[in-house]
Amino acid sequence: MRDRRVFNSAVSYFFTVATAQHQPLFNNEKTVYLFCDAIRQVMKSHPFIQDAFVIMPDHIHCIWSFPEGDIDYSTRWSLIKTRFTKQCLSVGIENEPWQRCYWEHCLRDDKDYQRHVEYIHYNPVKHGLVDSPMEWRNSSFKQYVALGLYQHNWGAGQLRQPDSVGKE
């Protein structure tokens, strides 16, 4: 994968956010849409760049880059979770959808960034949901392929991820 930095002064973070009791909320395309809509709405008032993402049935991994001087990811996640929760109520999901906490990791350098992007894109294969990252619908992988950053068959049937990612 080639270097992807949009602007070098950005601070980038890797996040893992899980559903409450690991309920498979995102097996439903409606809830995936509601989650993506919540992100879009929060981005309007609190800008950031979502560099990479994967939406799994019961958790989300993503990398966000923040404008210089504004790395308030806590407010952004709070707004996204609140908006999504309210939207879930409107479609009949009454249980709290989120675990209270989430995992964040400040990416140290381009190598750390690349390891986490690969972890994100390979996650559906790692969990046995598909044979190739290209097969997973709710991921930024196809965008990376379109940009020429990956070959379409990257990660197909191979164990690629170091176990240390997400445990720093």
102 part of a folded domain: yes
Burial annotation 25-61 (CB, 10 A radius, 16+ → b, else e): bbeeeebbebbeebbeebeeebebeebbbbbbbbbbb
Query: How would residue 161 be classed by pLDDT, with cut points 50, 70 and 90?
Result: low
Say what the pLDDT of residue 145 is: 96
155 part of a folded domain: no
pTM score, whole prediction: 0.87
What average pLDDT does the chain have?
88
86 part of a folded domain: yes
Instruction: Please state whether 136 falls in left (phi above 0), alpha (psi between -120 and 50) or beta.
Output: beta
146 part of a folded domain: no
Reported as a single tens digit per residue, the pLDDT across 122-150 is 999 999 999 999 999 999 999 999 999 99
Q: What is the mean pLDDT of residues 64-80?
A: 94
Reported as a single tens digit per residue, the pLDDT across 78-106 is 999 999 999 988 877 778 899 988 999 99
Domain count, the chain: 1
Q: Rounded to an integer, what distance in angstroms lies between the CA atom of residue 8 and that of residue 30?
A: 35
Query: How would residue 6 be classed by pLDDT, with cut points 50, 70 and 90?
Result: very low
Say what the pLDDT of residue 25 is: 92
> What is the domain extent for residue 68?
11-109
54 part of a folded domain: yes
Say what the pLDDT of residue 95 is: 81
Three-state secondary-structure class, residue 64:
strand
